[in-house]
């Protein structure tokens, strides 16, 4: 009996070691995300995970990658529970980790194929595509591309968007795992060519894509002002101070107008206010209307104003109004992708069993179409806050535009890393679509991002500020925009085909034995 236990002990220790390594791989990928600039940790984390699941059964691949997902998503998504508690944070993190685990099962399966790092990278993209669709209408937070705004792979966004960056990072990581294995374990230097290519080709492709990243003002220039009025306090209950938030943004706009008259700032051609800058419906509240009108007259420029309009059904819409200083509101855009556990509460009645905090989340109604605001010579595409995480929403928003505005409100999530994670997405979108991105946040971080993804100005958190900059307007359609979602579909299909072939290979191997 003791002999049997002695034989089992090393096996369990090996399993425990692989669990720890897998979770550590997830932590490395997490650490590659902003606000840190450790982008190179992402392929290393992928390499560690690849080394653990290489040659294992799909069930083991699922389990170990689930552990990696927990190590990744639990810290990455901690902001989701900042004000509604663990009832949002932990279930969502576990759901995302489980979906990543499914990809891990596929990666373990394809590890029997020749050139497996390539097929494993395709399977990784398949997993990211799945997470962009499910749960809750998709939750693409945590894509590898969003860890890379400071990395060498960023130019690939101009070629085929976030999926190509993910493919490159994953292929580098899995290639690195194979390279190390060949050198240290198998010791077969003749078989180094394939893993070396898997590591090197994505890097070469990224540098080759640099000429596709344009920053020239091929559709003119505009002076843009971004207003960050700040909020009375962080958290969901900032809404109880709605008038104070509106007054803050009016006051900061009027201060900018005084600075312009004094020669301390340039006159803007257009102004961007954040999401929820006026949570008081100006159509229903004459005082709010008057305050916004005062700000527009003072700055003497059209303002894109984040507000909340109440429909005839009594339910709110997260809206951006285009406010002309002479004519008042002349156009509007309603946010199409609503944030779960904030603007909406998935499975509200179910989660209410565990906590009443779920009722602090909203009951917003989504919009159904993109809108481009004409503000002087600028044609402003709009992606409100959470929408910037979704490839299709941003792709539709930039069509017909020459600049992208991202009004956002991250005050709900306090001092968490959420605002920096979202800013990373903004930077990737700038390169993907070849647009200047103006980010206006109620409490920070507001920023100007050039079409090459670099940040030229930014604010701090929970402080009033105004940024003014002369920015390039660009109407160029990038290769990524021309190709649309097709590259991701092809990559996902390649991943599924590889899994199917791997299953057949494994079955034939078992039949041969």
Q: 3-class secondary structure for 22-66?
A: HHHHHHHHHHCCCCCCCCCHHHHHHHHHHHHHCCCCHHHHHHHHH
Dihedral sign (CA 223, 390, 334, 281): negative
What pLDDT, on the 0 to 100 scale, is given for residue 1?
46
Residues 115-130: tens digit of each pLDDT: 999 999 999 999 999 9
- How far is Cα 34 from Cα 85, in angstroms, rounded to an integer? 23
Distances (CA, A) of 414 to 91, 235, 318, 321: 21, 6, 20, 26
Question: Confidence band (pLDDT; 50, 70, 90) for 352?
Answer: low
- Using a 10 angstrom Cβ sphere, with 0-12 exposed, 13-18 middle and 19 or more buried, the burial of residue 461 is middle
Share of the chain above pLDDT 70, in %: 92
- How far is Cα 118 from Cα 422, in angstroms, rounded to an integer? 29
- How far is Cα 237 from Cα 51, in angstroms, rounded to an integer? 46
Query: Which tokens hold the place of 501?
Result: 């072939």
Residues 404-457: tens digit of each pLDDT: 999 999 888 889 999 999 999 999 999 999 999 999 999 989 999 999 999 999
Residues 145-170: tens digit of each pLDDT: 999 999 999 999 999 999 999 999 99
Report which of residues 513 and 154 the model is more confident about: 154
CB distance 393 to 387 below 8 Å: yes
What pLDDT, on the 0 to 100 scale, is given for residue 96?
96
CB distance 122 to 99 below 8 Å: no
Q: Which of 33-37, 312-316, 340-344 has the lowest mean pLDDT?
A: 340-344
Catalytic residues: 275, 335, 385
Q: For 334-343, what is the mean pLDDT? A: 84
Q: Examine the pLDDT at 341 and tell me if it is beyond 90.
A: no
- Using a 10 angstrom Cβ sphere, with 0-12 exposed, 13-18 middle and 19 or more buried, the burial of residue 451 is buried
| DSSP string for residues in 140-158 | -TT-GGGG-TTSTTGGGHH
Q: Supply the pTM of this predicted model.
A: 0.93
Question: Confidence band (pLDDT; 50, 70, 90) for 84?
Answer: low
Question: Confidence band (pLDDT; 50, 70, 90) for 240?
Answer: low
Q: For 75-97, what is the mean pLDDT? A: 86
- From its phi and psi, is residue 225 left (phi > 0), alpha (psi between -120 and 50) or beta? beta
- How far is Cα 75 from Cα 30, in angstroms, rounded to an integer? 7
- How far is Cα 70 from Cα 95, in angstroms, rounded to an integer? 9
Residues 185-200: tens digit of each pLDDT: 877 777 788 899 999 9
The mean pLDDT value of the chain amounts to 92
C-alpha torsion 267→268→269→272, nearest 10: -160
From 464, 454, 335, select the one nearest 411 (Cα to Cα): 464
CB distance 451 to 435 below 8 Å: yes
Residues 172-183: tens digit of each pLDDT: 999 999 999 988
Question: Confidence band (pLDDT; 50, 70, 90) for 242?
Answer: confident
What pLDDT, on the 0 to 100 scale, is given for residue 243?
86
What pLDDT, on the 0 to 100 scale, is given for residue 383?
98
Query: Which tokens hold the place of 452?
Result: 């090459």
Query: Which alpha helices (H) appear in 263-328, and where do they start and end?
Result: 286-299
What pLDDT, on the 0 to 100 scale, is given for residue 384?
96
H or E element, residue 225: strand 221-228
- How far is Cα 197 from Cα 172, in angstroms, rounded to an integer? 9
What pLDDT, on the 0 to 100 scale, is given for residue 137?
84
H or E element, residue 334: strand 328-334
What pLDDT, on the 0 to 100 scale, is given for residue 351?
64
Residues 275-298: tens digit of each pLDDT: 999 989 999 999 999 999 999 999
Report which of residues 23 and 3 the model is more confident about: 23
What pLDDT, on the 0 to 100 scale, is given for residue 7?
47
Distances (CA, A) of 230 to 296, 301, 304: 18, 21, 17
Residues 24-69: tens digit of each pLDDT: 999 999 999 999 999 999 999 999 999 999 999 999 999 999 999 9
Q: For 244-264, what is the mean pLDDT? A: 97
Question: Confidence band (pLDDT; 50, 70, 90) for 475?
Answer: very high
What pLDDT, on the 0 to 100 scale, is given for residue 506?
83
């Amino acid at each position: 009996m003791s002999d049997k236990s002695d034989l089992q002990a090393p096996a369990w220790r090996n399993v425990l070691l692989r669990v720890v390594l897998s979770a550590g791989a997830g932590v490395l990928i997490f650490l590659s995300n902003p606000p840190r600039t450790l982008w190179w940790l992402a392929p290393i984390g992928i390499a560690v995970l690849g080394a653990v699941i290489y040659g294992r059964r799909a069930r083991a691949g699922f389990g170990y990658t689930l552990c990696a997902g927990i190590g990744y998503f639990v810290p990455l998504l901690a902001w989701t529970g900042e004000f509604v508690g663990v009832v949002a944070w932990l279930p969502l993190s576990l759901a995302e980790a489980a979906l990543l685990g499914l990809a891990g099962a596929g990666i373990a399966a394809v590890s029997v194929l020749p050139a497996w790092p390539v097929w494993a990278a395709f399977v990784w993209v398949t997993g990211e595509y799945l997470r962009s669709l499910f749960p809750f209408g998709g939750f693409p937070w945590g894509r590898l591309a969003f860890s890379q705004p400071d990395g060498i792979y960023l130019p690939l966004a101009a070629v085929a968007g976030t999926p190509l960056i993910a493919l490159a990072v994953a292929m580098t990581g899995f290639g690195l795992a194979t390279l190390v294995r060949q050198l240290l374990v198998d010791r077969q230097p003749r078989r180094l060519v394939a893993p070396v290519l898997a590591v090197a080709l994505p890097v070469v492709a990224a540098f080759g894509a640099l000429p596709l990243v344009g920053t020239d003002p091929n559709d003119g220039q505009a002076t843009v002002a971004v207003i960050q009025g700040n909020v009375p306090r962080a958290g969901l209950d900032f809404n109880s101070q709605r008038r104070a938030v509106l007054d803050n943004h009016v006051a900061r706009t009027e201060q900018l107008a005084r600075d312009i008259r004094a020669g301390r700032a340039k006159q803007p051609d257009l102004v961007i206010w954040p999401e929820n800058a006026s949570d008081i419906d100006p159509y229903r509240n004459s005082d709010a209307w008057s305050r916004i009108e005062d700000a527009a007259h003072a700055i003497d420029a059209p303002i894109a104003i984040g507000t909340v309009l109440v429909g005839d059904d009594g339910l709110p819409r997260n809206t951006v109004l285009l406010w002309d200083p002479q004519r008042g509101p002349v156009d509007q855009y309603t946010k199409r992708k609503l944030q779960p556990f904030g603007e909406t509460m998935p499975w509200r009645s179910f989660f209410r069993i565990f906590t009443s905090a779920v009722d602090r989340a909203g009951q917003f109604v989504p919009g159904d179409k993109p809108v481009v605001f004409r503000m002087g010579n600028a044609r402003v595409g709009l992606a409100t806050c959470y929408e910037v995480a979704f490839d299709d929403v941003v792709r539709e928003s930039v069509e017909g535009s020459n600049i992208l505005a991202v009004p956002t409100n991250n005050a709900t999530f306090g001092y968490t890393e959420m605002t920096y994670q979202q800013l990373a997405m903004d930077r990737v979108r700038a390169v993907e679509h070849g647009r200047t991105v103006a980010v206006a946040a109620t409490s920070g971080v507001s920023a100007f991002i050039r079409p090459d993804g670099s940040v030229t100005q930014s604010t701090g958190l929970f402080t009033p500020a105004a940024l003014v900059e002369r920015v390039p307007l660009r109407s160029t359609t990038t290769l990524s925009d021309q190709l649309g979602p097709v590259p991701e579909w092809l990559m996902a299909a390649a991943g599924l085909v590889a899994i199917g072939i791997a299953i057949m290979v494994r079955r034939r191997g078992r039949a041969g034995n």
